[in-house]
């Protein structure tokens, strides 16, 4: 995903993504891109025989979704949120306060 997030406005060929991940075989990268496409995390288009991929959201949106899913999975989401906020540095607390004010 980081490869796709680094080029948000440019659909990338599967080969280009694989070339950025030299520790993985092309077929592995292609399989993961296909699965991400089916999950809606990646948009795939086809030009001839070439598949082009781009992320459907930003890294920040992905992180927010993951945090929401973690809270949803917690036995006590309110306590998990309290614990999470308790671990945040001051600059993130300030950003959270601004976001809460803007939402209201």
Banded pLDDT at 11 (limits 50, 70, 90): very high
Q: List the Cα angle 85/86/89 in 5-degree steps.
A: 80
In the chain, the domains with their CATH numbers are 2-55 (1.10.10.10), 59-103 (no CATH)
Residue range 29-52, pLDDT digits in tens: 999 999 999 999 999 999 999 999
pLDDT of residue 85: 95
DSSP alpha helix (H) spans, 6-89:
14-19, 26-39, 59-73, 77-86
Residue range 50-83, pLDDT digits in tens: 999 999 999 999 999 999 999 999 999 999 999 9
3-state SS, residue 76: coil
pLDDT of residue 67: 94
pLDDT of residue 102: 96
3-state SS, residue 50: strand
């Amino acid at each position: 995903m980081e490869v796709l997030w680094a080029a948000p406005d440019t659909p990338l060929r599967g080969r280009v993504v694989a070339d950025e991940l030299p520790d993985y075989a092309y077929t592995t990268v292609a399989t993961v891109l296909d699965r991400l496409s089916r999950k809606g995390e990646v948009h795939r288009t086809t030009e001839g025989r070439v598949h082009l991929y781009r992320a459907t959201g930003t890294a920040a949106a992905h992180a927010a979704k993951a945090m929401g899913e973690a809270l949803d999975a917690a036995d006590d989401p309110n306590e998990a949120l309290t614990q999470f906020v308790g671990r945040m540095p001051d600059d993130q607390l300030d950003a959270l306060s601004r976001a809460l004010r803007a939402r209201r």
